[in-house]
Chain A
Amino acid sequence: MSPKTLYDKIWDEHVVHEAEDGTCLLYIDRHLVHEVTSPQAFEGLRMAGRTPRAPEKTIAVPDHNVPTDPTRVDGIKDEQSRIQVEALRANAKEFGIEMYDVDDNRQGIVHIIGPEQGWTQPGMTIVCGDSHTATHGAFGALAHGIGTSEVEHVLATQTLIQQKSKNMLVKVEGTLPPGVTAKDITLTIIGRTGTAGGTGHVIEYAGSAIRELSMEGRMTVCNMAIEGGARAGLIAPDEKTFEYVKGRPHAPKGAQWEMAVEYWKSMRSDEGAHYDKVVEIDASEITPVVTWGTSPEDVLPIDGSVPSPEDFQGGKVDAARRALEYMGLEPGTRLSDIEIDTVFIGSCTNGRIEDLREVARIMEGKKVKDGLRAMIVPGSGMVRLQAEEEGIAQKLQDAGFEWRMAGCSMCLGMNPDQLAPGERCASTSNRNFEGRQGYKGRTHLMSPAMAAAAAITGRLTDVRDLA
């Protein structure tokens, strides 16, 4: 048998039917739904008189629309948001789907709660009507975003019609320098390969720097596979993965646990497996980075300067010109001279407990600069509780951060947390598109450590200079 990649293995294990032209019907083990991309899917089922094939394989959670202030349990004020959340509640009830509602401590961003509840496991196929489903790939699961029509397809059939993607390997070998984190790895990769570099591929992240990462760090890396254009990101499961899954509410128990671990251990790429594309990165060369433009590929080391449109070629010249105008930046400005108005720490990229611990560590003995708006939005109610128990929540509030309820919050302005026009934000989220965090809002993507550093000085700052 020829050697297989991890992606090949998971794929092969899930093919229900293969047509002559290679189109496959792929079985889906786990499905997650949120309020924004599911109402039309449930409506479609209802109109066709269909029912979910395996409702126990789907969980539902509201996250994009929910406000992050505590009064939200008394009802969401924005009428359209409220209707969407109510629709999710009604649909979950009607179709027998488990839901973590707004008043449930387990509620949070869909990609945070999947792993947290042990719903995400190695070797599975996992989908959600959300592009950042790639996050779950950190467990060695084949996880990707789907559109609403596909959400309906999965509900009705527990399968998806798919064409196999190509294999891409991103290998990060070596040791990360101090101050450099998983977010810097993933942004650096996108800066290197571009937002279309992974199109048509599933990326497997490997190498010693990836193996060294915690599960949280691995999720941060896989989360942004989609920003690199890939359908999904994958990391082979190992002891760290099993340790993380063990004992969680949906994790296998007893004899099944032993059986599962045996199986999971086989979920890794074989020696000599073929990749269609290989990118190698030396971890020791990665530095703390930030984005300057309106595409996640607009990445530069923090000690760099704003580029000029002439530095680019082809369609990128105009794109850069447009980005600079939108961002209100002059070529040649040192990135560390850019002043910010807001700091947002949260999202499915960096809203986990480890991220909050990192911010608390940087903030030790320091304060958020006067006049800045700085908010921390835990990725789930469970993260929030844990941070409160560890005393981090209090420390962060004492340092001047707002401490919010769980949700997508300012990662995208669908709820009340938004940037005002022209406002500039140091953000730990994953997209810096025009208008993403609010109409005419300006986003600089970075790691939690770098966002904390920016909170202290009020401008983009090299976290290594604070030590």
Chain B
Amino acid sequence: MEKFETLTGIAAPLPLVNVDTDMIIPKQFLKTIKRSGLGVNLFDEMRYDREGNENPDFVLNQPAYRDADILISGENFGCGSSREHAPWAIKDFGIRCVIAPSFADIFFNNCFKNGILPIALPQEQVDLLMKEAEKGQNARMTVDLENQTITTPDGTQVTFDVDPFRKRCLMEGLDDIGLTLEKGAAIDTFESGAQATRPWM
């Protein structure tokens, strides 16, 4: 997995609550059997009209935000289905960090598996960053995972929480499966215990 240490880039404001996974990547794009190539379809139904022309009002179509690295949005971001296509599309577009007051559980989890850092902050702090992001191209922010800070262009700093295990996995780009396979003996022991007490399972 790609490492995440610090990220400096443009933050795009998407001030909507309950952004669901169908908005992030509509189901017609779930038919792929690959992980890559979904970035062009990120937010498809808001980003394009039926003929595939760009909707100029949508934030990621505006010149200032076409190369956004960070997305700032409203509460309950990523609700809906478990599709990992949502973080795949976000990552493929080039966004590596999503900031919102709260996230849906599965989406939040899926981000970490794909080198994306989701940051949950109190509403007031999200509002502050949203305002900064609305300034457009100058809104380059720095997300420092090691120190758990977000710095805005005028030097304002916001700190955030992150689970230590997930932080380490992101910073070192660790492969979860590899880590778990190292615990093979513990899994063996568990299985023989379970076989004795719950043989029908």
Contacts and interface: CB of A to CB of B under 8 A. Distances in A.
B45 A156 contact: no
B74 A315 contact: yes
Contacts of B104: 196, 199, 229
Interface residues of B, number: 56
A138 interface: no
Given A23-B165, A37-B30, 7 more contacts: A25-B180, A27-B187, A199-B103, A229-B79, A229-B105, A433-B20, A436-B27
Contacts of B165: 19, 21, 23, 161
Contacts of A80: 31-32
A34 B28 CA distance: 16
Question: Which of A130, A146, A161 gathers most chain B CB within 10 Å?
Answer: A161
A39 B35 CA distance: 9
Contacts of A129: 82, 84
Contacts of A25: 180, 183, 186-187
B152 interface: no
Contacts of A257: 200
B187 A16 contact: yes
B177 A156 contact: yes
Contact of B82 (A21, A64, A130, A412): A130
Contacts of B197: 263
A439 B50 contact: yes
Contacts of A161: 165, 176, 179-180
Contacts of B30: 36-37, 64, 414
A159 B187 contact: yes
Interface in A142-159: 144-150, 152-153, 156-159
Interface stretch (A81-89, A216-224, A345-353, A369-377): A81-89
A212 interface: no
Interface of B: 15-18, 20, 22-23, 26-28, 30-35, 45, 50, 74-76, 79-84, 87, 102-106, 109-110, 113-114, 163-165, 176-177, 179-181, 183, 186-187, 190-191, 194, 197-201
Given A23-B165, A263-B198, A431 B80 contact: yes
Contacts of B198: 123, 260, 263
Interface in A9-33: 16-17, 19, 21, 23, 25, 27, 29
Nearest to A257: B200
Given A196-B75, A256-B199, A433-B22, A156 B31 contact: no
Given A39-B33, A43-B33, A157 B84 contact: no
Question: Which of A149, A161, A256, A257 gathers most chain B CB within 10 Å?
Answer: A149
Contacts of A199: 76, 102-105
Contacts of B87: 147
B82 A157 contact: no
B181 A156 contact: yes
Question: Which of A129, A148, A316 gathers most chain B CB within 10 Å?
Answer: A148
B200 to A, nearest CB: 4
Interface residues on A, range: 35 or more
A466 interface: no
- 3 tightest Cβ-Cβ pairs between the two chains A and B: A252-B200, A80-B31, A149-B113
Interface string A35-77: 0110110010000101001000000000011000000000000
B43 to A, nearest CB: 11
Interface of A: 16-17, 19, 21, 23, 25, 27, 29, 36-37, 39-40, 43, 48, 50, 53, 64-65, 78, 80-81, 83-84, 87, 121, 123-124, 129-131, 133, 144-150, 152-153, 156-159, 161, 163, 195-196, 199-200, 229, 231, 252, 256-257, 259-260, 263, 295, 314-316, 318-319, 322, 412-414, 431, 433-436, 439
A439 B84 contact: no
A29 B103 CA distance: 28
B201 A124 contact: yes
18 contacts: A19-B165, A21-B163, A21-B165, A37-B83, A39-B33, A121-B200, A131-B106, A145-B82, A146-B106, A147-B106, A147-B109, A147-B113, A199-B102, A229-B105, A259-B199, A315-B16, A414-B31, A433-B23
B201 A121 contact: yes
A29 B180 contact: no
A64 B27 CA distance: 10
Nearest to B180: A157
B45 to A, nearest CB: 5
A84 B31 contact: yes
Nearest to B168: A21
Nearest to B34: A40
